[in-house]
Amino acid sequence: MTAVEPIPLVKASLGEQELAAVAEVFASAWQAGQGPKGKALEAALTARYGAGDAVALNNCGSALHLALLALGVQPGDEVIVADYSFPAPAHAVHYVGAVPVFADVRADTGTVDPAAVEDLIGPRTVGVIAVDTVGLPADYAELKAITDRHGLFLVEDAACAVGATYQGREAGALAPVAVLSFHGRKGITSGEGGALIATDPAVAAHARLRSSFGIGSIFDQAKVVGLPIPEFTEIGYNYKLADIAAAILLVQLGRVEELLERRRAVAARYAELLADEELVTLPHVPDDRTHAWQSFLLTLDAGVDRAAVAADLRAQGIGCGHGTWASHLQPVYEAKQQCPTSADLFRRQFAVPMHAELRMDQVDRVVEAVRVAVRAHASARV
């Protein structure tokens, strides 16, 4: 019996160039964080995003935490967060003792609804964290106008959106502070990793100090003649990105367009083949932005049994997932708000394989399996 080739939901695009970069760090005198490769990565990110500064970090959750600390969020403050998202933004708000307030999203894009944000602003609101949902930028013109009008900060969670654009500007440069993720399923990756991008260098400097236990770069201090004794000036954290990972990311950063073009081709093939399938709705990308395609989410008809579809695909070796989370429904938050659009997307969206290593024959096989499964598990319509 011929074995069925598995088609994973996600797969990183890592190869010989990345291995060579790691070998170079192995042969060097510094493999830990805030070394020469980390500094080079920060310089490359600063240049790419036209920022005041960038800080390389161990993950995007750390970047969110440090951003809120640098922005002065205090216990009891309220921060409005996009609801339909991996809940890292709301977690970060809790890290600083503040209260996440969940804003509902647009039905067509899954990105935060600016009108919902404005409706939630109250006397304790200090800022907004928008999310570029699975790689699609939010409505930053409207969000910036709202936050400016009310004197609030705006943070862009561009974790999934490296390479995406909004009105000609790149995701990661759409708000005064932005955070990136380099997790294994993102457009570029070092397995784990993240970054904080800031227009104001002082915000980045605060984050960099807090990312290293509050004592700054040991690598820099070791180059000083004599015996400098670091002083702990802040309560900090160990959020540094190892130079091994930074070396991988320097290679990956140079491959952004190549890898994104391959993802775009996969997305176009899915859209072409599923355009006439009545039981699924394809992702919507407004004309003023482009998608990074971290994920490809189908919205299933309300009558389709999503769990049964997933079981059928997985039985054929095809990876799939539920999409992302309606954060306000997660038990950890005990939220009393209602975000009906987010809740609906959480129930009906369905992730099919999306990565730069997918072949078109694999996409064709996924589409055929989806067609058969959604039709087999759709309830009869009246």
Catalytic residues: 186
- Which are the contacts of 218, defined by CB distance < 8 A and separation ≥ 6? 32, 34, 212, 230
Whole-number Å distance between alpha carbons of 36 and 115: 45
Whole-number Å distance between alpha carbons of 290 and 264: 10
**Contact in structure between 166 and 288 (CB atoms under 8 Å):** yes
